[in-house]
């Protein structure tokens, strides 16, 4: 199992985007012209009920970002977040109950009920 102290290689994808998640990201980009030319940034920051929380935003590439493409969608990860997200999978479900984006993270020792925060 990976830990937050593992080194991260730019050659290996840190986060994997499923086909359904990529389809939803492309749809969101098409619906909002402000996102044209931007990529999906998946990140971790302090906060939430378990100490760390996930975030996703459309953003431009910054120096030091790791960039991988899945199903036509570029996913950006900053170096700090990469250590916590290594091996994570971003999925999307249209289910009425529990639908939306979900991040499955093998580095999370404990997750809260909302699914947006975790303990590494």
Q: DSSP characters for the chain?
A: ---TTS---TTS-SEEE-HHHHHHHHHHHHH-GGGTT-EEEEEEEE-STTSEEEEEEEE---TT-EEEEETTEEEEE-HHHHHHHTTEEEEEE--TTT-EEEEE-TT-SEE-TTSSEEE-
pLDDT tens, residue by residue, 24-47: 999 999 999 899 889 999 999 887
Fold (topology level) of 15-119: Hypothetical Protein Aq_1857; Chain: A; (2.60.300)
Q: Which residues pair with 56 in a beta bridge?
A: 42
The per-residue pLDDT for 111 is 60
pLDDT tens, residue by residue, 61-87: 999 999 999 999 999 999 999 999 999
Confidence band of 120 (pLDDT split at 50, 70, 90)? low
CB 108 within 8 A of CB 47: no
Task: Show the tokens assigned to 93.
Answer: 């479900």
Whole-model pTM? 0.79
Write down the domain spans for the chain: 15-119
Interatomic CA distance for residues 42 and 96, integer angstroms? 24
């Amino acid at each position: 199992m990976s830990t937050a102290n593992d080194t991260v290689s730019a050659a290996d994808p840190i986060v994997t985007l499923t086909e359904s998640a990529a389809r939803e990201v492309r749809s969101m980009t098409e619906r909002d012209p402000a996102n044209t030319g931007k990529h999906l940034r998946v990140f971790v920051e302090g906060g939430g009920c378990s100490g760390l929380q996930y975030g996703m935003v459309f953003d431009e590439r910054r120096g030091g970002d790791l960039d991988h493409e899945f199903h036509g969608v570029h996913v950006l990860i900053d170096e700090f977040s990469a250590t916590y997200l290594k091996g994570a999978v971003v999925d999307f479900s249209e289910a009425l109950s529990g639908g939306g984006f979900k991040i499955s993270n093998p580095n999370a020792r404990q997750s809260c009920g909302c699914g947006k925060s975790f303990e590494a």
